A and B are shown apart, each in its own frame.
Chain A
Amino acid sequence: MSDLPSEVKRKVLEMQKGEITEHFIYEALSRATKDSGNKEILRRIASEERRHYDLWKRHTNEDIKPDRWLVWRYCFISRTLGLTFGLKLMERGEQKAEAAYDALAQYVPEAREIAREEDNHEKQLISLIDEERLQYIGAIVLGLNDALVELTGALSGFTLALQNTRLIAVVGLITGIAASMSMAGSEYLATKSEEDARSPLKSAVYTGFAYILTVMLLIFPYFIFSNVFFSFGLMIFIAISVIFHFTFYMSVVKEISFKHRFLEMAAVSLGIAALSFVIGFLIRTFLGVDI
């Protein structure tokens, strides 16, 4: 049964390694998960990966060790950034080429079936995972978006109008805290009026927390550096970086296009920042404030 050409055998061994690695990842995650529903789903995927491994092994007659580094990496990502994100990221990187399976099918008849299971069944199982964090992702998006747009705007305006980093940091902090609570309050009322399964209080906390965290990231250059324009540049850079990371997270979890969302969000934030910059300049000139 092991009369595979060496070229094909190498490929099958690679597949085998992938399956056993994923088996270990899913098993480790299953052990670490508290929720009994999610635990069971993860255990089922783990055993499916194991079965695939055994199928390949019948053709190669070789045992393969998992990639310890990958196991550790995806476990870490899933634990810190959420199960759904970690698993979808992993499945995304995997995207096994259809052609590779077809080529193997000549020698290994089960290849097509395995490919189909990987593609459909596992994805279905992953989508069953119920993660609290994802229910509140709308609330987090709201806080983050609003903080990005408003605070980049306000800080740009302050940069020209106040020209004193300490002052800008304090004004930004006060504005940011008041705005985060206002946003949390409106999210509370909005969730309450929607009457779905989500808790209004939790939504408000997620929104407020996302907001204040973004505010802190954006104002910290003004606390540290004394050159306003340097702080301003760093703040804009941080804003773009936050948009980049968050959009990537969203695009993986919700399987939507990264580029469109990123450009939209960046354009809105930077556009409003530019407008506020001009407004700050005009107000300063017009009011003739000297500090």
Chain B
Amino acid sequence: MLNQGVKRKILAMQKGEITEHFIYQKLAKSVKDPHNAGVLQRIAKDELGHHNQWQRYTAEKASPSRLKIWLYYLISRIFGITFGIKLMEEGEERAQAAYAEIADLVPEASSVAADEHRHEQNLIRLIDEERLHYTADMVRGLNVALVELTGTLAGLTLALPDSDLIVLAGLITGAAMVLSVASTEYLGTKSGEGGHSPFKAVMYGGLANIITFIFLLFPYLVFENVYLSLGVTVCNAIVVVCLFSFYISVAREISFRRRFSEMVLASLGVAALAFLIGYLARIFLHINIE
């Protein structure tokens, strides 16, 4: 009763639903928090229901995509469930257009699908992930390291073009920065709102801070030519901003473009200014490194 093209589309959706069913089930089993496990279990059941609904039209069983199950499972385990699930759901939204085509033939099915989709979104929001409570701390740690170190390294590159010296100064600056960020973070959370553990805030903020710091200083350890190192550092900075903005934009559903451009502009702007200051320092202060 269904023509071949429509049936193929429905089968594809069926496959998607059953794959998601397995992903959610796998995640539900791996999660320790009973609340989150319950939420994931409910979504898994819903997805199975969708699959069965489509099956009534196709009268065929669909097998899940093993690759996708592993991919999203791994992503969720490494980067956090909220990020993994939202990333997956974002891919699903692209299939939304397909619903419209099928709507003529199987009207009730598509309206149910839309309802279910909304329901699912609400459930995902119920997932309570510790690491998302500390995104603000991570953002701060990352931002500070990014702006400050690209700036410092750009300035040092012009003021004292000697990669050993820059690594030395960069390491000390970085160490002082990490310690200072951690202490302000600790004091800030201690006097601030409840529900936030000061120790964890320091850990998340500090970790983002240190990772960024290592990533930015790394080129100076590898290359002899300081200008080349600076170029690589700037590229690294852009990569870090790009990855992190992407993560935040998916996990918190905010605009990627604005965040990305804001952070890139801030860190490169400061770097450019510091570069200029480094240049002036070299001209006017005549530092000689023997």
Q: How far is the CB of A138 from the nearest CB of chain B, in Å?
A: 10
Q: A150-B180, A171-B159, A186-B144 are in contact. Are A178 and B151 (CB under 8 A)?
A: yes
In whole angstroms, how far apart are the Cα atoms of A181 and B183 in the complex?
19
Of the four ranges (under 10, 10 to 19, 20 to 34, 35 or more), the interface on chain A belongs to: 35 or more
B289 sits at the interface (CB 8 A): yes
Report yes or no: A291 in contact with B179, Cβ–Cβ below 8 A.
no
CA–CA, A102 and B273, complex, Å: 65
Q: How far is the CA of A177 from the CA of B266 in the complex (A)?
A: 14
A21 at the interface (CB under 8 A from B): no
- CB contacts between A and B, total, < 8 Å: 137
From A173, A175, A182, A283, contact of B168 by CB (8 A): A283
Pick the contact of B277 from A151, A173, A284 — CB < 8 Å?
A: A173
Taking CB atoms, residues of chain B closer than 8 Å to A162 are 165, 168-169
- Which 7 A-B pairs have CB atoms at the shortest separation, nearest pair first? A178-B151, A153-B176, A157-B172, A174-B155, A182-B147, A150-B180, A182-B148
In the bound complex, residues from chain B placing their C-beta under 8 Å from that of A170 are: 159-160, 281, 285, 287
Give B158-198 as 1s and 0s: 1 = Cβ < 8 Å from A's Cβ atoms. 01100011011101110111011001100100000000000
Encode B224-257 as 1/0 by CB contact (under 8 A) with A: 0000000000000000000000000000000000
Residue ranges of B at the interface with A (Cβ–Cβ < 8 Å) = 140, 143-144, 146-152, 155-156, 159-160, 164-165, 167-169, 171-173, 175-177, 179-180, 183-184, 187, 266, 270, 273-274, 277-278, 281, 285, 287, 289-290
Q: Which of A149, A167, A181, A287 contacts B289 (CB 8 A)?
A: A167
A231 to chain B, nearest CB (A): 15
Stretch at the interface among A77-85, A103-111, A244-252, A268-276: A268-276
Chain A residues whose CB sits within 8 angstroms of the CB of B144 once the complex forms: 182-183, 186
Please report the C-alpha to C-alpha distance between residue A260 and residue B148 in the assembled complex, in whole angstroms. Answer: 31
> Are B168's CB and A284's CB within 8 A?
yes
A100: shortest Cβ distance to chain B, in Å? 38
